[in-house]
Amino acid sequence: MKSALARHLLFVLCSAFALVATLGLGACGAQQEAGSIRIGTMPTEDILPMWVAEQEGLFDEAGVKAEIIVFDSAQSLSAALTAGEVDIAMTDPMRAVKLCESGTDLTLEWITLGTTPDQGRFGVLTFADSGITSLADLANGTKGVGLAANTVPEYVFEQLCVQQGIDPASIPVSEVASLPDRYGLVASGQLDAAALPASMLALGQASGLVLLADDASGDNVSQSVMVVRTAYDTGEGAKTLDAVRTVWDEAASQINADPEKYRALLVEKANLNEQVASTYVMSEYPMARPAYPPAELIEPVLSWMSAKGYVTKSVSYDESDGSFTIS
């Protein structure tokens, strides 16, 4: 009897331990299934949903251990992608193509800003008393338009010219890679004009500079994109990326529903000047799903890069999986 009772108690105890262990493993698995991810970015508004997700605990809810790494230049961000120091990153199609051409395998995952023309504004400013009132007037300038080769501002500038029937080659340009330097040079009258992103356009207009043109309406010509290293997008990495898509969509939905709630966060993270902090127009953010930027937005960029000689090989884009083929 004692032996039978002992065996029964042992069975009950073992069953209890097994149940606890199973529940524990299940809970652990739910938290760790999606894994970890390193997200690279510049300090710009394009990545705001990821900062909102961090602030609101959305990554934790999705079981994702996310680290957002901010770089002070596009060059350092590109270097981190190449070295595998980040897994996904916010960048632009031009830089993604050049990285692929140089041997860093990437795919475009989703548009972070730019599914409509009013998202992620770029444009051209001139100084207050320049006497320049249109892009056409820049053909007679002597100080040039400040821009940087193979960048979104250069692409937008040339597309704006084409839309107005102006040959971009007729306008003198000046290579100024640094955006703050470019802004300072046009503000002080040392450039005829400068091609700049939204935050600097807003600051310039608030400071008395004159907007000649922007891409906030008409043809949709500028996008920022989330890219992923192909080596990461397998196995657990693919599961994590899928979870991050869900997190992005939830955060973007929260911003779109109540943008003012996140103004302070945007001002802090994107380093917006206090002169425009309270008036800066907050973007409506696109969703990460269903997936992949459409070819109609990416292929014109590829054609432009080829015509300008910014790519030396044949490049094609497949919107079904966000990949480039370079031959």
For the residues 78-99, what does the mean pLDDT come to? 97
| Per-residue pLDDT at 25 exceeds 60 | no
Neighbours of 196 (CB within 10 A): 28
Can you tell me which residue has the tokens 């602030």?
55
Closest C-alpha among 285, 286, 223, 227 to residue 109: 227
Spatial distance between the Cα atoms of 126 and 146, rounded to a whole number of angstroms? 10
Can you tell me which residue has the tokens 């979870």?
243
pLDDT tens for residues 243-293? 999 999 999 999 999 999 999 999 999 999 999 999 999 999 999 998 899
Q: What angle do CA 33, 38, 40 make, to 5 degrees?
A: 150
Please give the backbone phi and psi of residue 129, each rounded to the nearest 5 degrees, phi first: -110, 35
CA distances from 133 to 8, 129, 130, 214 (A): 93, 10, 8, 13
Can you tell me which residue has the tokens 């207050």?
128
Q: For the ranges 31-45, 121-135, 258-272, which has the lowest average pLDDT?
A: 31-45
| Per-residue pLDDT at 5 exceeds 70 | no
